[in-house]
Amino acid sequence: MSAYQSFIGLEIHIHLLTESKVFCNCPARFGDEPNRNVCPVCMGYPGVLPALNEEAIFMSYLVGRALNCELADEAIFDRKNYFYPDMTKNYQISQFHSPVGRNGWFDIRLEGEETKRIRIHDIHLEEDAGKMIHASGGSLLDYNRAGTALLEIVTEPDLVTGEDAEAFIQQFRNLVRQLGVCDGNMEEGSLRCDGNVSINLKGKGLGTKTEVKNVNSSRFLRQALSYEIRRQKKLLDKGEAITQETRLWDEAAGRTEAMRSKESAHDYRYFPEPDLPPFRPTPDFLGKVDEALIELPLARRTRFVEELGVKEVQADLLTEERATADFFEATVAAGVEAAAAAAWICGDVQKHLKRREIALGESSLSPARLAALIKLVEENTVNRNGAREVLEAVLDEDKDPAEIVAERGLEQEDNSAELEALIAKIADENPQAVEQLTSGDMKPIGFFVGQIMRASGGKADPKQVQSLIRAKFGL
Ligand code: ADP
Ligand code: ZN
Ligand code: MG
């Protein structure tokens, strides 16, 4: 690859989580009986007028704001003309001349690198088409999806590898989910992504691109683009030209196949939609967009790592869902160390939730309860094993930790006198270890702890044992 350079730009479509379709009042619901959620507007009957869904345009501006776009003072809708049976009007209402947002960027984190800024070319609101189902003996059409709100996000070709594209789509998915504008389900097509890719000799700029479609997971996106880069390289190595075309990812075969030569914008005869006035956001509307903007997942992750000292892998997990990050912050606010809260949430809490197949938000564990549990451990009221038992009981019985500790008699007895006696005995038997310790070599601490744990049949609290040893030898 060394002589070559690769360029990847993504075109992402997200289904906005609106109640109704983008230009009519039909429910935007999936899985209903075919052709139930239709009306003269989304079926393209003559003489009917579309009307813009406020929720859809609000979500669009919110995404534009989150992606640092220049937001349109006047968002204009255009007709994109083409014929296909899944679209009864023979045109799709989209945006071309003045989309909701332009010239933005999205920062992503790449493995082993700093963050990378990916420029956003534009974002525009449009309507989805219906679904064509090819059955034996003919094709069936379901227009329930026709006219549902789609937001398209187009990046500049700033991504370099299949891995970059995978990271982008995963972090972008996280963003739109946390913004509450899309459920991000790629298998079901709520988030769809086409990958555009070209290669060229280093320093020569962009090459002739191909567009890869039919990738319904971030992993397939990575595989398809990596495949495509290899394929293009082989062609160039042989002195052959790349054909600009659309290709399909064949998941089973693990390769892309030519589908059609790519049409260009002028083929669509875009022109302004005469039935919809331009959308002009008021200061009040833009104020509400600002209010709805959340701290972006990457910024939050960075803050957790840099300001709260959370480990990177834990910060990843904590910021995957907004509810988890909120839960974590509320636990810390209840007065426990961030490191302890992160370790509990990413460790035992996750494990037990998974086992019970419930989400954190649905469980009977609250930030206050987790903080109380962590404090019980810190104060040595319960040991680690006891604490785990308490956690499970909180989840199963919906009670406060203190109540469970009392009911089950989980308080640790104060057995420091007993442990001190043990330490003295082991010290007597191992004068060399004691000498090492007192001369500043800490290695034997592990030996002492091990001996005492064994002598106590594993019941002693290793942390307590450590501090007793340190106290005894004045370390
Ligand atoms: P088209 O007119 O074929 O749709 P666009 O210029 O609208 O092409 O770009 C579509 C997507 O393809 C964008 O994400 C853009 O970044 C990407 N792209 C455009 N040209 C190239 C290229 N030469 N190599 C890789 N990606 C490209
Ligand atoms: Zn309708
Ligand atoms: Mg284009």
Q: Within its chain, how far is the Cα of 241 from the centroid?
A: 38
Q: How far apart are CA 62 and CA 288, in angstroms?
A: 9
Query: What mean pLDDT do residues 171-198 have?
Result: 96
**Closest C-alpha among 371, 369, 350 to residue 359:** 350
How would residue 155 be classed by pLDDT, with cut points 50, 70 and 90?
Answer: very high
**Ligand 1 touching residue 197 (CB < 6 A):** yes
What is the distance between the alpha carbons of residues 444 and 436, in angstroms, rounded to a whole number? Answer: 7
More confident residue, 141 or 458: 141
CA of 50 to the centre of ligand 2 (A): 9
The residue type of 172 is F
Percent of the chain topping pLDDT 90: 77
User: How many A from CA of 9 to the centre of ligand 1?
Assistant: 6
Mutation choice for ligand 1 from 82, 196, 245, 267, CB with most ligand atoms inside 8 A: 196
Question: How far is it, in rounded angstroms, from Cα 229 to Cα 198?
Answer: 7
Q: Residue 356: its pLDDT value, please?
A: 94
* Predicted pLDDT of residue 2: 61
Residues forming a β-bridge with 10: 195
Mean pLDDT (whole number) for 358-386: 92
Predicted pLDDT at 116: 95
Q: Is 204 in the pocket of ligand 1 (CB under 6 A)?
A: no
The distance of Cα 45 from the centroid of its chain, to the nearest Å, equals 40
Q: Identify the bridge partners of residue 195 per DSSP, sorted by sequence position.
A: 10, 212
Ligand 1 pocket test, pick from 124, 154, 206, 209 with the greatest ligand atom count within 8 Å of Cβ, gives 209
The whole-number average pLDDT for the span 236-251 is 94
Position 417 confidence tier, pLDDT thresholds 50, 70, 90? confident
Q: What average pLDDT does range 307-336 have in this prediction?
A: 96
Residue 263's pLDDT band, with cuts at 50, 70 and 90, is low
Instruction: Tell how far the Cα of 134 is from the centroid of ligand 1, in angstroms.
Output: 30
In whole angstroms, give the CA distance from residue 11 to residue 40. 30
pLDDT at 72 over 60: yes
Nearest atom, ligand 1, residue 265 CA: 2
What is the pLDDT at residue 1? Answer: 45
**Where do we find the tokens 């996106």?**
221
| CA 94 distance to own-chain centroid | 27
Distance 265 CA to ligand 3 centre (A): 7
> CA 381, CA 405: separation in Å to the nearest integer?
9
Calculate ∠ Cα 250-205-264, nearest 5°.
55
Alpha-carbon span 459 to 471, nearest angstrom: 20
CB 93 within 8 A of CB 79: yes
Q: In whole angstroms, what is the distance from residue 137 CA to residue 436 CA?
A: 87
Q: Is the distance from the beta carbon of residue 262 to the nearest atom of ligand 1 less than 6 Å?
A: yes
pLDDT in the model for residue 117: 97
Reported for 234-243, long-range contacts at CB under 8 A and 24+ positions apart, including other chains, are 236/4, 236/199, 241/208, 242/198, 242/207, 242/208, 242/209, 242/210, 243/208, 243/210
**Phi, psi of 259, deg, nearest 5:** -115, -55
Q: Is the CB of 198 under 6 A from ligand 1?
A: yes
Task: Please tell me the distance from the alpha carbon of residue 122 to that of residue 104, in angstroms, as a whole number.
Answer: 7
Decide: 168 in ligand 1 pocket, CB within 6 A.
no
Task: Find, among 54, 154, 138, the residue nearest to 105 by Cα.
Answer: 154
What confidence category does residue 214 fall into, taking pLDDT thresholds of 50, 70 and 90?
A: confident
Q: Is the CB of 209 under 6 A from ligand 1?
A: yes
Please state the rounded mean pLDDT for residues 249-278.
Answer: 87
Quote the mean pLDDT of the chain: 93
Looking at the CA of residue 157, tell me the nearest atom of ligand 1.
Answer: 16
Q: Please work out, in degrees rounded to the nearest 5, the angle formed at the alpha carbon of residue 457 by the alpha carbons of 456 and 460.
A: 50
Residue 437 C-alpha to ligand 2 middle, in angstroms? Answer: 80
Residue for token pair 């020569």: 204
262: confidence class by pLDDT, cuts 50, 70, 90: low
User: What spacing in Å lies between the alpha carbon of 264 and ligand 3's midpoint?
Assistant: 7
Q: What is the mean pLDDT of residues 213-222?
A: 94
Tell me the mean pLDDT in the region 326-342. Answer: 96
Averaged pLDDT for residues 418-422: 83
Ranking 126-135, 421-430, 454-463 by mean pLDDT, the lowest is 454-463
Nearest CA to 155 among 317, 21, 350, 10? 10
Which residues contact residue 232 at a Cβ distance below 8 angstroms, ignoring those fewer than 6 apart?
197, 198, 199, 207, 210, 242
Does residue 242 line the site of ligand 1, with CB under 6 A?
Answer: no
Q: What spacing in Å lies between the alpha carbon of 307 and ligand 3's midpoint? A: 41
AA letter at 319 = T
**pLDDT value of position 399:** 93
Ligand nearest to the CA of 27: 2
- Can you tell me the mean pLDDT for 88-101? 96
Contacts of 369 (CB under 8 A, 6+ apart): 394, 400, 401
Q: Read off the pLDDT of each residue in 167-184 and give the average, rounded to a whole number.
A: 97
pLDDT at 348 over 70: yes
Identify the CA nearest to 124 among candidates 77, 86, 158. 77
Question: Ligand 1 mean position to 117 CA, how many Å?
Answer: 18
Rounded CA-CA distance 382/53 in Å is 56
Q: What is the mean pLDDT of residues 249-255?
A: 93
Among the bound ligands, the one closest to the CA of 211: 1
